A = this chain, B = another copy of it.
């Protein structure tokens, strides 16, 4: 008897713990997206929750900590998708194309994460254009891909860091433009990004 009770208890507790953590994360995601990281207060977050103020601190140490958890979540998700792309890629062109499409599609399908990412940009000491640690890691992987493509003679010997930054810049800026349009069209965004990146303004696009 007491065995089953105990195991029930611990099970329920674990579930509840998970639920509460998720509730906080969900609330935080919304608030950050709505009023930005800087403007968000811990009170704003818990207010959107059934929890008491103190409960927040059972799960996260600070506002920054929740934010990092969210960033990590998105970054990990996105980076995994991009790794899958990398593995399936058979050509550099196809790789870049798939990367852009994956990237734009991800945010098209997760608008709240897009909003969060934008609010990210405002964190103090986080003013690298929009680079949390996750983005940084993603860029490092991209740099490696570029280096390899250069080594294999697939693309010319360009400045790797400049190119990495540029591709990121193109992705970010087109993402912002795409998110303002209705309906969302990740394919169109991808096509433009690919075209510009691969052949430039002079390319046979249009």
Binding site for B on A (CB under 8 A): 1-3, 6, 35-36, 38-39, 96, 118-119, 121-130, 155-159, 161-163, 165-166, 168-174, 176-177, 188-189, 192-193, 195-206
24 A-B pairs with CB atoms under 8 Å apart are A1-B3, A2-B6, A3-B3, A36-B127, A38-B38, A38-B122, A38-B124, A96-B201, A119-B127, A122-B127, A129-B130, A155-B202, A156-B203, A159-B188, A162-B192, A163-B192, A163-B201, A165-B177, A169-B170, A169-B172, A170-B170, A195-B200, A196-B200, A200-B200
Contacts of A156 in B (CB 8 A): 201, 203-206
The distance from the CB of A39 to the nearest CB of chain B, in whole angstroms, is 5
Contact of A200 among B119, B125, B197, B206 (CB under 8 A): B197
| Contact residue among B123, B124, B169, B205 (Cβ-Cβ distance under 8 Å from A174) | B169
- Which chain B residues lie closer than 8 Å to A163 at the CB level? 192, 196, 201
Task: Give A61 Cβ to nearest chain B Cβ, in Å.
Answer: 16
Distance between A85 CB and nearest chain B CB, rounded to angstroms? 17
Cα–Cα distance between A138 and B130 once the two chains are bound (Å)? 21
